[in-house]
Amino acid sequence: MGLGRMGLPMARRVAAAGHEVTGFDSSRDASRRAASARLSTVESLEALAGCEVVCSSLPGGDDVEEVYCSTGGLLDVLEAGAVAADLSTVSVEGSRRVAAEARRRSIGFLDAPVSGTSIHAEAGSLTVMVGGPQGALATARSVLEAFASRVERVGDNGSGLLLKLISNRLLTSYLGAIAEAVVSMERTGIDVAQGIELLRAGAAPRQLDYKAEPMAARDFSPMFTVDLMRKDLRLAAESLPTARLAGVARQILEDTSDAGLGSEDLGALITAVENYMDAPP
């Protein structure tokens, strides 16, 4: 359901894995591209009656709610016991509304947003973060694994989307920091190509590996302390162009040190982050 940049390669992977695949897209151009890729397509949602598993890859939350919950939508069409896996990145609350309506009709519903691009979809190497009933995932797993190298249930409905949104916020923050590093190299006359290679060889790219689990365990055994990094960021502020994300990071370190954790590992900054983040929904 949805045969665009992501949906079409995923559907092709599912067909190649031996499943009988029927595709639907409201765009005639998308349907023609699917047909040229030798996928069977239909012209109405009603033609999907009897499908055991439906995967949807749609642009936005309004599209998801309309396709599933409107009169004549997928929840009207699918039979009890069918499973729907929505691969879109949409509103958590909107997805939970669809899940509740699906549950009322004895249809399994999974929020199953994917991490990766169309290149990963073509290669079958997406990551799928799943929220919803375990039984529904068991039914849909072989379909999802046709286009993903990792399919894992995070929790109840909405959990998959929450983790996907956390992932995208982390990614964007990281990309912003990379952008600040590149601009800083340009404006201080450093050879950017050489600088990127040396940064890549250093510790920065592996921080999720190094720090995330100790942070979660609140294990601040010193390897590189908060106060040492405070010193380094002070020196950076003296010598480099002003950088917004770096300024925020420096303030987080200052708050951590002010709380008496300056001699602890750099991961102790999570304590300051806890203080200013809103409570989870």
Distance CA 66, CA 84 (A): 14
Per annotation, catalytic residue among 164, 225, 270, 272: 164
Q: Single out the residue of 145, 138, 153 nearest to residue 19, CA to CA.
A: 145
Q: Are 266 and 224 in contact (CB under 8 A)?
A: yes
HSE-CB of 35 using CA atoms within 13 angstroms? 11
Q: Single out the residue of 118, 67, 136, 76 nearest to residue 95, CA to CA.
A: 67
- Let me know if 231 is a catalytic residue: no
DSSP string covering 103-156: HHTT-EEEE--EES-HHHHHHT-EEEEEES-HHHHHHHHHHHTTTEEEEEEEES
Q: Single out the residue of 62, 88, 102 nearest to residue 7, CA to CA.
A: 88
Q: Are 20 and 51 in contact (CB under 8 A)?
A: no
Cβ burial, residue 236 (10 Å; 0-12/13-18/19+): middle
Distance CA 117, CA 16 (A): 19
Instruction: Give catalytic residues, as residue numbers.
Output: 164
